[in-house]
Structure 1
Amino acid sequence: MHLSILVSACAVVSVQSFTVAPSVHRRPSPFSLSSAPSLNNQQEFQETSEVTNKKSWKDDGFVFGLSDSGLQRPKGKVAMTVVDGDSLETKPYQVVLVLSTLFGHAAFFMNAMMGIWAQQNYQLGPAALQTTSLTLASWVLADLGSGILHWSVDNYGNGRTPIMGGIIAAFQGHHSAPWTITQRGFCNNVYKLCLPFGLAPVTLLTWLGAGPQTILFATTFCVLEILSQEFHKWSHMLGSETPGWVNRLQALGLTVSRKTHGLHHLAPYEGNYSIISGVTNRILDQTGFFRRLEHLIYRWNGVEANAWKLDAELKERTLRGDYSLRKG
């Protein structure tokens, strides 16, 4: 199953204007400080300018690391949300959406497994081998998919981008306060991914007559993409803060480790994008996969990746065809 999850870049220019009240000219008194009103007016104008110029989460320059982004890292590990309406509180509708989606996928998975078993004349060995192979293949491609999705929302678009705008802004907020994700409950953390990776894609495949192998692969892919945000959350938590079985999954390389994902959180955030297991990070970064895509996009429409805006040397290297990841 091939899912296209590249997000096209958007350039939005915000036009801002200032309204300054006309000053009243009066003859200065020789006994007054005539400069005081002027200084007060100047100060008020500067304060108004700062407020007006502050970037909204919907603006094109809302990129953590840019000097005029309006995003700053808070002092201490203070949770911070940047998208209007976002909250760390788990809402009932989030629980209903997540549980119904996961139970639905479980039903599709079990039905597909039974279909494979029937195709193998109810021989457990061949059916188990095929199911395991499909699950592992889906796990690898889901990791690849998570990397492409992460790269696209980190580097292109803004808060006004259709469908993905809120996610794009939230990822920039995540760079400024990465610990915020650790304060989200499971359903609050993953519910947004239940829309693109919910039951609709698998239902459509079933309606189109896809076989059990395709359904099992697609269901596994969708569930892993939904869970990717929880794996991501674990990678931001200390080993003492996560259950032993979570630490074991990370040690086995089944979910992305703290060390692997920690490498992504170094400006200009140009690599280590995959967040399910991180198994595809090495090949993606060593082959310059994302730099090549960025170069193609720039040639196509002239839009620069956010990583380029944060690192002029990275941009220069990419434009001359050096796609290697940053040394050291």
Structure 2
Amino acid sequence: MCVLESARAMAIPERVAAKAEDMMTEEDPNCNQEGDIKQIKVSRWGPNHAGAKELAGLYTKGKRTQEVVCVYSSVFLAIFNIFQLIYHFSIENWAAPFAAALSGVVVADFLSGLVHWSADSWGSIELPILGRNFIRPFREHHIDPTAITRHDYIETNGDNCMMVIPLLAWQAFTFCIYTEERIREVYSWECFLFLLCIFITLTNQIHKWSHTYFGLPPWVEFLQRWHIILPKKHHRIHHVSPHETYFCITTGWLNGPLEYIKFWSRSEWLLEQLTGYKPRSDDLKWAKKTE
């Protein structure tokens, strides 16, 4: 049975560590291993799972077009904005912009958790527009965790790029209309906004790297090892069924604190009381699909 190497070393909360035996190992990322014998005929998880096959088939040409447009648009805006930030940078006043930029990273990590939790726990594939286009990848990911490693840059990052386009466009607009004096006044805010957008954009790429066990560039492994971005072992905690914790997937810095205050479980309890809808019921339906 799949076993997490050291629950204590990673300071996992007890209720998470208790489920660690169900967790993926690096040698068997889809958790199909039983002792030393692979389950060859029937794959519990992975690309051969019936639900995973059906979900992968719902990726359409229209969705691909949307992703291509969003990726190129966000890259163009980000390049314009970074040049503006470099042009207006002043070494004498570096501390406030640095602190603001770091805050942007932390907020991006929280937002990654909020979006991840929302899409994992609520809604269904049948929802108009949102279902097939935005909830589908989350359902696929839980029953085929390594599918993301087979996605190219466009499919991996298209939706995140779409989310930041309004913010990057607004920032570019302000750089065009603000005076030099006004830009100096709001420079720290612009640093916060830019790093927020960049890390939101990179969230799914970082998530993909956390599922990639071979061939990563040394600098990516360095960032993972020092927990500057989401590490592999840290993210594996989320992949304990029923996937109810450690939702932050940009840096993962907030996973421990949010778990400590039971932020997600308390939010789920409140929403269930208000709506009567049980979290992750749609996710479980796809996981149980056999044909």
TM-score scaled by length of structure 1 = 0.62
* AA aligned opposite 2:105: W
Q: Distance in 1 between matches of 2:76 and 2:105?
A: 19
Shift >6 Å, 4+ stretches: 75-79, 90-93, 307-310
Between structure 1 and structure 2, the one with the greater Rg is: 1
Partner of 1:45: none
Partner of 2:21: none
Q: Distance in 2 between matches of 1:231 and 1:77?
A: 25
Partner of 1:150: 116
Confirm or deny that 1:303 pairs with 2:277: yes
> Given the alignment, which residue of 162, 172, 187 partners 1:212?
187
Using the TM superposition, give the Cα deviation of residue 262 of structure 1 relative to its aligned residue in structure 2, in angstroms.
Answer: 0.6
Bigger relative contact order, structure 1 or 2 (CA pairs below 8 A, ≥6 apart): 2
Confirm or deny that 1:271 pairs with 2:245: yes
Identity of aligned residues (%): 25
Confirm or deny that 1:105 pairs with 2:74: no
Confirm or deny that 1:140 pairs with 2:106: yes
> Given the alignment, which residue of 145, 150, 158 partners 1:191?
158
Using the TM superposition, give the Cα deviation of residue 134 of structure 1 relative to its aligned residue in structure 2, in angstroms.
Answer: 1.5
Confirm or deny that 1:257 pairs with 2:243: no
* AA aligned opposite 1:281: N
Residues 93, 269 of structure 1: alpha-carbon distance in 2 compared, 3 angstrom cutoff: closer
Partner of 2:55: 82
Using the TM superposition, give the Cα deviation of residue 162 of structure 1 relative to its aligned residue in structure 2, in angstroms.
Answer: 5.0
Name the structure with the higher helix share. 2
CA contact (8 A) 1:109 1:216 kept: no
Using the TM superposition, give the Cα deviation of residue 138 of structure 1 relative to its aligned residue in structure 2, in angstroms.
Answer: 0.7
Using the TM superposition, give the Cα deviation of residue 185 of structure 1 relative to its aligned residue in structure 2, in angstroms.
Answer: 1.5
* AA aligned opposite 1:158: S
Partner of 1:73: 45
Q: Which structure 2 residues correspond to residues 312-327 of structure 1 after superposition, within 5 A?
A: none
> Given the alignment, which residue of 86, 105, 130 partners 1:164?
130
Using the TM superposition, give the Cα deviation of residue 256 of structure 1 relative to its aligned residue in structure 2, in angstroms.
Answer: 0.4
Partner of 2:255: 281
Q: Which runs of 5+ in 2 are unaligned?
A: 1-42, 285-291
Cα offsets for 1:144-166 (capped at 9, x unmatched): 11011101100001124355323
Partner of 2:17: none
Q: Distance in 2 between matches of 1:137 and 1:196?
A: 19
* AA aligned opposite 1:263: I
CA contact (8 A) 2:74 2:168 kept: no
Residues 302, 204 of structure 1: alpha-carbon distance in 2 compared, 3 angstrom cutoff: same
Residues 252, 74 of structure 1: alpha-carbon distance in 2 compared, 3 angstrom cutoff: closer
Q: Over the residues paired in the alignment, what is the CA RMSD in angstroms?
A: 3.2
Q: Which structure 2 residues correspond to residues 40-79 of structure 1 after superposition, within 5 A?
A: 73-74=45-46
Q: Which runs of 5+ in 1 are unaligned?
A: 1-70, 311-328
Residues 176, 162 of structure 1: alpha-carbon distance in 2 compared, 3 angstrom cutoff: same
Q: Distance in 2 between matches of 1:169 and 1:185?
A: 17
Residues 75, 277 of structure 1: alpha-carbon distance in 2 compared, 3 angstrom cutoff: closer
Give the 3-state SS of the residue equivalent to 1:241 in structure 2.
coil
CA contact (8 A) 1:250 1:257 kept: yes
Confirm or deny that 1:226 pairs with 2:201: yes
Partner of 1:41: none
